[in-house]
Structure 1
Amino acid sequence: MRMLCVIPVRGGSKGIPGKNRRLVAGKPLLVWTIEQALAAQPKMDVLVSTDDEQLADIARSAGAQVPWLRPAYLAEDTTATEPVVEHAIAAYTAEGKRPDAVMLLQVTSPVRLEGTLDRAIQQFVASGVDSMVGAVPQTPFLWQYGADEHDQPRAHFTIGARPRRQELDRTQLFYRETGSLYVTSTEIYEHEHNRLGGKIGIFEMDDLEGVDIDTELDLSIADHQLTQLHRDTANATSAASAGPTDKDSAQ
């Protein structure tokens, strides 16, 4: 299966100016997603679609393909993501490299564990779904207003038989879309112009991977989590290369 990874990133950001090139855990925010995509197995073409030359330079330096700058009409504040992906599909198709599916990765959700993208590709291929959405599990302890004419709040669980978290099974959980990743067959984009359509699957992600950066606080949380993950990975690699300790050898 030929899979194209599209990473859309604009130069403008009203909430956090220059967000996508801000340093997070020692790297520009954009770079984290590029490196994760390049490390995925099986290999994908990794395309960054941007309207910003500085972000394009950062992306190229990180190893991503940036064959063109995104047209201005696809880089407005109100531009949806789907036309951006379809623009990329059309460009690759014109070069004789039409993908079978597209993995859409959003830079604002940079925390992805090692192996997550590999697992997503494997699940998409094995499950036979047409599209797949990354999500983190949530308990059903949710309330909602406007459930009746008196605007009384309603619980999404049985109040008189409140289950323990450990007793919940997957049919009792809700799944929150993280915005981190989507995998979609090319035909869905071409015919439905949406990242989700046809037979839809849920790709379950770890709670740690649920960060979505909209505020400075979110940026700080992502910085902390990525720093910790990088440190843990480095320590594990160092321990593995050091070999067994004397105590381990004696056992």
Structure 2
Amino acid sequence: MNILCVIPVRGGSKGIPRKNVRNLGGKPLMAWTVEQAVNAKIGLDVVVSTDDEEMADVARRYGADVPFMRPAELAEETTATEPVVAHAINFRTAQGRKPDAVVLLQVTSPLRHPDTLDRAVNQFLETGVDSLVGVVPTPPFLWRLGNEAAGTPVSAEYDYENRPRRQELTPEQIPYRENGSLYVSKPELYLGHNNRLGGKIGLFILDELEGVDIDTELDFALAEQQIASLGKGL
């Protein structure tokens, strides 16, 4: 089975300039995800899609393939991820390497356990879903703001009159947050529906540690702390 793994990295970044190549725990941020994909036992065709020569060099240094430089129209601030992945799928298909499944990894979620990608792909294959999304459990006591002008009160998404203890909640009662770390999908979803999710969707539950999504300087500092404390456990 041919499983394409697409790792998109763009040169521009407004929140943290050049964050994809910024040092995190002794190597560029993007290198964590590239190494995890390259080292997956399941055997992934790891392609980094980038418009940036420095990032392309980092990707190659850590073992990924960079068979093209991303076209400028797919590297704008407003460009969605789906056409970027579709471009990589079409490129590999034109080479005679049409993928049976596509793994999308975001480098801003660098913390993954060594077996995470293998378990995710195996779950995708074994359950027969059309797409799989990585999620992390969140505290269940969620509220929504009301609209005073419309006379809509605040509302709770749990029964606050019978507040449960967190340890008593079943997996079905726990909310899960999509953190952007990983997706596994049939290529047809990208090519025919311009979406990474669709059809029968499964949840791949990540460890809370893996929920880091680096978007701010604080996120970066937290990731550095976790990597320092865990060492080679990642």
Distance 1:81 1:183 in 2: 14
Contact kept in structure 2, 1:134 and 1:179, CA below 8 Å: yes
Moved over 4 A (4+): none
Deviation at 1:146?
Answer: 3.0
Contact kept in structure 2, 1:147 and 1:154, CA below 8 Å: no
Paired position in structure 2 for 1:217: 218
Contact kept in structure 1, 2:183 and 2:196, CA below 8 Å: yes
Alignment pair present for 1:226 and 2:196: no
Matches within 5 A, 1:119-130: 119-130=119-130
Matches within 5 A, 1:154-193: 154-193=155-194
Deviation at 1:160?
Answer: 1.4
Paired position in structure 2 for 1:89: 89
Deviation at 1:231?
Answer: 4.2
Paired position in structure 2 for 1:78: 78
Contact kept in structure 1, 2:113 and 2:233, CA below 8 Å: no
Paired position in structure 1 for 2:106: 106
Deviation at 1:140?
Answer: 2.1
Paired position in structure 1 for 2:205: 204
Specify every segment of 5 or more residues in structure 1 that has no aligned partner in the other structure, as ranges. 234-251
Deviation at 1:232?
Answer: 4.5
Deviation at 1:96?
Answer: 0.4
Q: For 1:91-130, what per-residue CA distance to the aligned partner results, in whole angstroms no more than 9, with x for missing partners? A: 0000000001110000001011121111101100001000
Paired position in structure 1 for 2:16: 16
Paired position in structure 2 for 1:238: none
Select the structure of larger CA radius of gyration: 1
Q: For 1:170-224, what per-residue CA distance to the aligned partner results, in whole angstroms no more than 9, with x for missing partners? A: 1211110010000000111111110001111100000000011111110111112
Paired position in structure 2 for 1:34: 34
In structure 1, what residue type is equivalent to 2:155? Answer: R
TM-score of the superposition, structure 1-length normalised? 0.90
With over 3 angstroms needed to count, the CA separation of the structure-2 counterparts of 1:232 and 1:131, relative to structure 1, is: closer
In structure 2, what residue type is equivalent to 1:11? Answer: G
TM-score of the superposition, structure 2-length normalised? 0.96
Paired position in structure 1 for 2:117: 117
In structure 2, what residue type is equivalent to 1:160? Answer: E
CA RMSD between the two structures? 1.3
Count matched residues. Answer: 233
Distance 2:86 2:70 in 1: 12
Distance 1:99 1:186 in 2: 7
Contact kept in structure 1, 2:34 and 2:63, CA below 8 Å: yes
